[in-house]
């Protein structure tokens, strides 16, 4: 006789197919990246050149408004569509996916979740339409994984806030029009490292005391813009407080759940790029009288890429499904990000190995994939942070509490 649990399980339907709408977004992102970026990306990477014209082109296709409801200027697509777009964009280059990670994942979805109606109309609508570019400022010169270590402070001055501090390693820092900035608003709680003393603010380019700069000499993602943000008593209206005072850490962590999801999906695309490039090379390069793809150890590396691609895609799809249901997904998103980023680095390393000496030069794309893959193990939570997160869940040392704001379901 079947148990109740078994009967309940037998009634569930697991469908791995994509909807026509999801496939349309996938094709749109694939065609765009292949047409607009692939032909010139190698040169852009060598010159470490960011092409600002890529933003209006992405906006025209609705890519900058993915997952944002139509009433706020977006396309109204679901989180699976966002993941598919990220996978296709990073298949060509990581810098493309980074745009979606910070503009949509970290910033726009935070506004959708935590913003007031006035903030959504004023900031989210132009962002979703691509009229304004946005990013998120949390990391600082002396604080990355240790969020409580940030030094940026905001103090009240009449009906305004005065923000002073510095942010570092911020994608689109020198391009963005709008910034969500995490700062301490309670000095006593800062000394106690109590996260409830943090708040988030919407800061606009052009505000007095705000300056940005570009970081050069990066190992990877060279065709993407990465920079710093300096805030010198920037006066921000009270209406630009995102969420309630003291909710900044919650805002930031929910933002990371979104950003990490896009990184996981993007890294999966990088694995597929490594696999496709390696298969093509292994079928045409000969050694010892036959294509190297017939050599056992080359097959082993290609098999590993194929297995990792399928595993990583299932992990981010599960996280995306939870997001579509409006359910908490911190554990699943962290696992997808951790595993996909490690697998991408492994795939890129093996892709270079398959290409031999040619993989060590920028004549082939796998050299760029190898450099780009490393960054994802550092940003959006380092691999060490994600391992601690997963261990704490497994050991019962970490249990998710409901957030004050639920994730908007797709």
Domain boundary among 108, 133, 158: 133
Q: Is residue 5 part of a domain?
A: no
**Res 9: pLDDT:** 47
Would you say residue 293 has pLDDT above 70?
yes
- Same domain, yes or no: 108 and 152: no
- Same domain, yes or no: 304 and 278: yes
pLDDT tens string 327-339: 999 999 999 999 9
Please give the Cα distance from 358 to 203 (Å, whole number).
Answer: 46
Q: Is 380 a catalytic residue?
A: yes
Q: pLDDT band at 2, cuts 50/70/90?
A: very low
Q: Is residue 195 part of a domain?
A: yes
What is residue 332's DSSP assignment? Answer: H
pLDDT over 70 percentage in the chain: 95
Would you say residue 7 has pLDDT above 60?
no
Q: pLDDT band at 249, cuts 50/70/90?
A: very high
Q: Is residue 6 part of a domain?
A: no
Segment 111-139 mean pLDDT? 98
- Same domain, yes or no: 93 and 185: no
Tokens of 377: 């193990």
Would you say residue 259 has pLDDT above 80?
yes
pLDDT tens string 395-406: 999 998 765 565
Please give the Cα distance from 131 to 55 (Å, whole number).
Answer: 9
Tokens of 169: 């390693």
What is the tally of structural domains in the chain?
3
Give me the phi and psi of 346, to 5 degrees please.
-65, -45
- Three-state SS for 105-124 is HHHHHHHHHHCCHHHHHHHH
Q: 3-state DSSP call for residue 199?
A: strand
Domain assignment of residue 277, given as a range: 250-395
Would you say residue 3 has pLDDT above 80?
no
pTM of the predicted model, to two decimals?
Answer: 0.95
Question: Is the Cβ–Cβ distance between 351 and 359 less than 8 Å?
Answer: yes
Pairing type for strands 160-171 and 178-184 reads: unpaired
Would you say residue 148 has pLDDT above 60?
yes
Q: What angle do CA 28, 29, 30 make, to 5 degrees?
A: 95
Domain boundary among 249, 269, 295: 249
């Amino acid at each position: 006789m079947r148990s109740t649990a078994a009967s309940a399980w037998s009634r569930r339907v697991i469908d791995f197919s994509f909807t026509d709408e999801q496939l349309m977004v996938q094709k749109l992102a694939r065609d765009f990246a292949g047409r607009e970026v692939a032909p010139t990306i190698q040169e852009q990477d060598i010159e470490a050149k960011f092409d600002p014209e890529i933003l209006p082109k992405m906006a025209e296709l609705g890519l900058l408004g993915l997952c944002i409801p139509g009433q706020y200027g977006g396309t109204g697509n679901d989180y699976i569509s966002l993941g598919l777009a990220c996978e296709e964009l990073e298949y060509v280059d990581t810098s493309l996916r980074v745009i979606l990670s910070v503009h949509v994942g970290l910033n726009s979805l935070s506004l959708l979740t935590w913003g007031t109606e006035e903030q959504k109309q004023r900031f989210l609508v132009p962002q979703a339409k691509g009229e304004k570019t946005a990013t998120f400022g949390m990391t600082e010169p002396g604080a990355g994984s240790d969020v409580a270590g940030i030094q940026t402070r905001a103090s009240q001055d009449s009906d305004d806030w005065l923000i002073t501090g510095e942010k570092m390693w911020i994608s689109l820092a020198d391009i963005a029009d709008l910034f969500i900035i995490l700062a301490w608003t309670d000095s006593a709680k800062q000394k106690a490292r109590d996260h409830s003393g943090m708040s988030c603010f919407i800061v606009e380019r052009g505000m007095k005391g705000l300056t940005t700069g570009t970081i050069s000499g990066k190992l990877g993602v060279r065709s993407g813009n990465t920079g710093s943000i300096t805030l010198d008593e920037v006066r921000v209206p009270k209406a630009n407080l995102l969420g309630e005072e003291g909710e900044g850490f919650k805002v930031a962590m929910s933002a990371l759940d979104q950003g990490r999801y896009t990184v996981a999906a993007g890294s999966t695309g990088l694995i597929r790029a490594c696999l496709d490039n390696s298969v093509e090379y292994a079928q045409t390069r000969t050694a010892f009288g036959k294509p190297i793809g017939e050599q056992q150890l080359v097959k082993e590396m290609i098999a590993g890429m194929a297995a990792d691609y399928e595993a990583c895609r299932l992990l981010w799809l599960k996280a995306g499904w939870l997001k579509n249901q409006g359910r908490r997904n911190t554990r699943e998103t962290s696992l997808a990000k951790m595993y996909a980023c490690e697998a991408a680095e492994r795939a890129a390393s093996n892709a270079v190995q398959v290409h031999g000496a040619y993989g060590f030069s920028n004549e082939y794309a796998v050299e760029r994939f190898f450099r780009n893959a490393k960054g994802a193990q550092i940003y959006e939570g380092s691999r060490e942070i994600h391992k601690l997160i997963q261990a704490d869940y497994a050991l019962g040392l970490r249990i998710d509490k409901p957030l004050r704001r639920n994730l908007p379901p797709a």
